[in-house]
């Protein structure tokens, strides 16, 4: 593969990001991604991203991570304090100049960091899925093992107050974190039941972000898109709640450590293996190992795999796969927004 071909492929990644991910979500990133796709210098810089990581997300997060230490810079003003229509003519030149000035620091972040977006509002989509799983599993208490847990905010799904656009709600009505989620379609969500006990919460990540990791928290904020001030505030609120939570966060390979969770989670609990926008970063051989591990371990106990992933669909899907004695079966429970802002429940309630 030639360098020109490689840059062409990276350029296409930025075009796809602009059209499929940033459109309607971040006008700033859509504007910048379209320009990056035509700039060989920035594409070459982006080529330094770790294998398997989404280059647009990492590049833009690296820039924001540095901006947080330079809030008076021109680019920070254009990002956070200037409407895009007023900033449009200056935004791309300022971004390009910033990348040139901070090229070494950005390159270091690209080669070291991974996407660890930990959007607490995704829990508003996970909550009906977990309640559905609880009923399906015979009303057992839940044990949750999350692969790619980041700061573990989705392990605290029942500690938030979830308010849905159709008038339903669930979670802790007294929580300091209130999450809103719109509902598409006419089907009511399966949330009108008491919360089950969650008796085991363990998250594994290649680089877990612990409550006292200030640099890690800064990286999480950098992964939030510039205009989305409400997401940034939710992140701060959820991180504050997590400080006093009974979370177990482990550094390591979540697939390799799955066997420990199978044996450590209380036997009376339904063990849910959770992952949100994680398997898209897995190479093919790791995906195959993940599936083989689940099938093998299902000889010891039934496993419930709940994934929130794109899986080639225009919108992310929530999919529940049950593994039992070496066999598996799946059902799509819902379509949802990537940041948990909407849900369309699809599963048959029968």
Which of 77, 112, 147 finishes a domain? 112
Q: Is residue 146 part of a domain?
A: yes
Best CA proximity match to 51, nearest among 220, 219, 284: 284
Residues 190 and 306 in one domain: yes
Average pLDDT, integer, range 265-275: 98
- The range of the structural domain enclosing residue 78 comes to 3-112
Q: Is pLDDT at 87 greater than 50 in this prediction?
A: yes
Say which residue the tokens 């429970």 belong to: 333
Average pLDDT, integer, range 171-178: 97
Residues 107 and 133 in one domain: no
Continuous H helices in the chain: 3-16, 27-36, 40-46, 55-67, 74-80, 84-101, 103-112, 123-136, 214-222, 229-242, 258-264, 284-297
Beta bridge partners of 182: 342
pLDDT computed for residue 14 by the predictor: 98
Residues 277 and 308 in one domain: yes
pLDDT computed for residue 1 by the predictor: 38
Residues 55 and 191 in one domain: no
pLDDT computed for residue 314 by the predictor: 86
Average pLDDT, integer, range 161-166: 98
Residues in CB range of 255: below 8 A, 6 or more apart: 147, 286, 289, 290, 293
Q: Is residue 261 part of a domain?
A: yes
Q: Is residue 226 part of a domain?
A: yes
pLDDT computed for residue 5 by the predictor: 44
**How far apart, in whole angstroms, are the C-alpha atoms of residue 139 and residue 213?**
37
Q: Is pLDDT at 168 greater than 60 in this prediction?
A: yes
Which of 58, 83, 112 finishes a domain? 112
Q: Of residues 212 and 294, which shows the higher confidence score?
A: 294
pLDDT computed for residue 333 by the predictor: 98
Average pLDDT, integer, range 266-282: 95
pLDDT computed for residue 348 by the predictor: 83
Which of 112, 131, 165 finishes a domain? 112
Tokens of 81: 């304090």
**How far apart, in whole angstroms, are the C-alpha atoms of residue 90 and residue 117?**
28
Q: Mean pLDDT across the chain, nearest whole number? A: 94
Residues 195 and 341 in one domain: yes
* Domain total in the chain: 2
Q: Is pLDDT at 311 greater than 90 in this prediction?
A: no
Average pLDDT, integer, range 202-214: 92
Residues 138 and 97 in one domain: no
Residues 99 and 125 in one domain: no
Residues 61 and 176 in one domain: no
Residues 12 and 79 in one domain: yes
Q: Is residue 97 part of a domain?
A: yes
């Amino acid at each position: 593969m030639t360098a020109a071909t490689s840059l062409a492929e990276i350029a296409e990644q930025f075009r796809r990001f602009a059209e499929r991910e940033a459109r309607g979500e971040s006008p700033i990133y859509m504007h910048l991604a379209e320009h990056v796709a035509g700039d060989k210098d920035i594409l070459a810089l982006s080529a330094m991203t770790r294998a398997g990581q989404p280059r647009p997300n990492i590049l833009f997060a690296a820039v924001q991570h540095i901006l947080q230490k330079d809030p008076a810079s021109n680019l920070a003003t254009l990002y956070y304090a200037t409407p895009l229509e007023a900033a449009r003519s200056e935004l791309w030149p300022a971004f390009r100049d910033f990348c040139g000035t901070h090229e070494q620091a950005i390159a270091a972040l690209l080669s070291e960091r991974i996407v660890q977006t930990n959007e607490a509002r995704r829990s508003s989509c996970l909550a009906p899925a977990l309640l559905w799983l609880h009923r399906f599993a015979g009303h057992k208490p839940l044990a949750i093992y999350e692969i790619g847990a980041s700061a573990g905010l989705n392990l605290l799904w029942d500690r938030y107050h979830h308010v849905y656009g159709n008038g339903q709600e669930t979670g802790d009505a007294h929580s300091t974190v209130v999450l809103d989620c719109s509902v598409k379609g006419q089907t009511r969500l399966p949330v009108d039941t008491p919360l089950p006990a969650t008796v085991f919460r363990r998250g594994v990540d290649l680089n877990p972000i612990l409550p006292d990791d200030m640099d890690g928290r800064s990286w999480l904020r950098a992964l939030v898109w510039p205009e989305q001030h409400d997401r940034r505030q939710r992140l701060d609120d959820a991180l504050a709640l997590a400080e006093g939570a009974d979370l177990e966060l482990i550094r390591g390979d979540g697939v390799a450590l799955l066997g420990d969770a199978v044996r450590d989670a209380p036997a009376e609990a339904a063990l849910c293996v959770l992952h949100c926008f994680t398997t898209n970063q897995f190479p093919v051989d790791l995906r195959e190992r993940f599936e083989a591990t689940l099938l093998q371990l299902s000889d010891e106990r039934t496993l419930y795999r709940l994934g929130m992933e794109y899986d080639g669909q225009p919108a992310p899907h929530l999919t529940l796969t049950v593994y039992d004695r070496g066999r598996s079966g799946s059902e799509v429970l819902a379509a949802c927004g990537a940041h948990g802002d909407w849900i369309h429940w699809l599963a048959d309630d029968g």
